[in-house]
Structure 1
Amino acid sequence: MKVILAGYSKTGTKTMCEAFKVLGYNTYDMLENAYYLSDEWVKIITKGGTPEDFRRMYKGVDAVTDLPCYVFWEQFHEAFPDAKIILTIRDEDSWYPSMAKQWNQLNKSYLGWFVEAFSPSLWRIWYYRYHSYKLVSDVSSFPSNKKELFGETLIRKMYREHNSYVMQRAPKDKLLVYKVTEGWEPLCEFLGEEIPDKPFPHRNKGSVLLTELAQTNNIMKQLVAEALTTSSLLAVFSVFLGYRFYRGSFFQNILHPFLVSLIKK
């Protein structure tokens, strides 16, 4: 493990994930953690984990970003003491509306509903999603459509306390407090990397997370493909059942004469 991103969601985590990939780092973001390590994370969140668990789970991984990793940044660093820590920050008065906007868009996204309903892989990680979301939100009504963030006062307090705790507890020689608007130079200097010959990335601008992931992330592409396949199979099966029902004795002998009599009346 080379670097642990300890910044809260909506502080540029998707941008940082892309920047790490440009630098050649094998990076686990939110989807990778959910897809590959859901069972392990449910155990850690509900029962606890050891440094050995983290080392086993993230063998060969260079960087971690977003939920649930930033909540457990300290446990990551205990397992990987040589890793560097980056705390991405953002002005609170722009961060909270962006966080709330993304949460609401995720709950209202037709793409999200479609994938949730028809992707077997998302069914498999249901418990992971519940427990990981509960780290930063009120999901007591899950899986209804009334998933809401904690009240604004509380989530702002959580954001401030998280940033303050990281800045107090992280080793000063291993910590970079960083804004994604600063670009490549301070990031590459901190990581000891050459500045890439390409513009610094900017991802999830305007909270278009699911649409962007569906275009760029292989796991999300697979989830969408699963949902399309499952929904297509269900549609074919429904047509088949409808045909059998139409050809069956109940339709021919009872329902069809009844409908004809209604029409004649």
Structure 2
Amino acid sequence: MKVIVAGMTKTGTKSVNAALTKLGYSVYDYPENAYLLTDEYNKIALKGWETEDFREMYENVDAVVDYPAFVFWDEIHKAFPEAKIILMMRKSEDEWLRSLEKQIQLNDKSTFFKLMSLLSPTARKADIFHRVLGPITLGNRPKSILGCKSQFNKQMAKKMYRQHNAYVLHTAPKEKLLVYSCSGGWEPLCEFLGVPVPDEPFPHKNKGGNIHETLVDDFPIFRRIQREILVSSIVITATSVLAGIVFYKYGFSTIFRRAGTLCYEFVRQ
């Protein structure tokens, strides 16, 4: 681990991910953290952690970005004390809050995200730590599998944003910390990392919360989730059609009578 991005969600994490990737770093962003390290984060959320847990999780990764890793930036730094730390902040906490709220609303409306919760085993498995960590880190309780809207506590979110940034600024070693804004472009980032400035524009990702449009293309894990959704849809459709044929052929009363007989024989045995 060479770089720990301690900036909270909606502070430019997708842009920094793209920039670090362009600079040659292997990066774990939210999709990798949430869906490749699901078991590890479920354990962390429910039972606690040791520094060694984070060392094992990220020993083969150059950089880590976004949720839920930013929550544990200091624990990750204990595991990798030579890593540099980047903290992004918005111009104001109100600007950050508006951006977060818009992202949550777009997520709630996304058909793909709804199907993930219902039809993807990979996505459902990650719901555990989302529901444990979400309310205490972002003021957000994700929507339920039944599709209800997310519960979002604006005051709690602002409080967490304020406390998080203050903690990073107070705790991170000054010689290893860069307070950064993506509007600054390549120069401050590359100078901090000690790498050449690329001869191309700085990447700006997820403008306006449009991440849903590029998820499958940008993150391989979402291709697996997409396949799981497709397979689950086919199985559900085939099962429904077969059940319809059986009920049509034999009738409800016959099916229920036979099912009752089988249950009775099973109990007797």
Q: Which whole-Å CA distance do the structure 2 matches of 1:108 and 1:36 have between them? A: 25
Structure 2: unaligned runs, 5 residues or longer? 255-269
Shift in alpha-carbon separation, 1:246–1:179, aligned structure 2, 3 A: same
Q: Which whole-Å CA distance do the structure 2 matches of 1:124 and 1:191 have between them? A: 35
Q: How many residues align?
A: 251
Letter in 2 for 1:225: R
- CA deviation string 1:157-185 (max 9, x = no partner): 22122111111111110000000011111
Letter in 1 for 2:196: E
- Look up the match of 1:238: 240
Q: Which whole-Å CA distance do the structure 1 matches of 2:68 and 2:241 have between them? A: 42
Shift in alpha-carbon separation, 1:46–1:250, aligned structure 2, 3 A: closer
8 Å CA contact 1:130, 1:142 repeated in 2? no
- CA deviation string 1:192-232 (max 9, x = no partner): 11112322111111111222212321111221121012112
TM-score, scaled to structure 2: 0.87
Q: Which whole-Å CA distance do the structure 1 matches of 2:171 and 2:96 have between them? A: 23
Q: Is 2:22 the counterpart of 1:19?
A: no
Shift in alpha-carbon separation, 1:138–1:115, aligned structure 2, 3 A: closer
- Look up the match of 1:32: 32
What pairs up with 1:64-83 in 2 under 5 angstroms?
Answer: 64-83=64-83
Identity across aligned pairs (percent)?
Answer: 43
Q: Is 2:50 the counterpart of 1:50?
A: yes
8 Å CA contact 1:43, 1:49 repeated in 2? yes
Greater shift, 134-143 or 177-186, is seen at 134-143
TM-score, scaled to structure 1: 0.88
Over aligned residue pairs, what C-alpha RMSD do you find? 1.9
- Look up the match of 1:9: 9
Q: Which whole-Å CA distance do the structure 1 matches of 2:142 and 2:240 have between them? A: 34
8 Å CA contact 1:39, 1:128 repeated in 2? no
8 Å CA contact 1:245, 1:251 repeated in 2? no
8 Å CA contact 2:2, 2:84 repeated in 1? yes
Q: Which whole-Å CA distance do the structure 2 matches of 1:125 and 1:167 have between them? A: 30
What pairs up with 1:1-265 in 2 under 5 angstroms?
Answer: 1-92=1-92, 93-134=94-135, 135-139=137-141, 142-143=144-145, 145-150=148-153, 152-250=154-252
Residue 85 of structure 1 aligns to a residue in which SS? strand
Q: Which whole-Å CA distance do the structure 2 matches of 1:138 and 1:200 have between them? A: 31
Shift of 1:133: 2.1
Shift of 1:138: 4.0
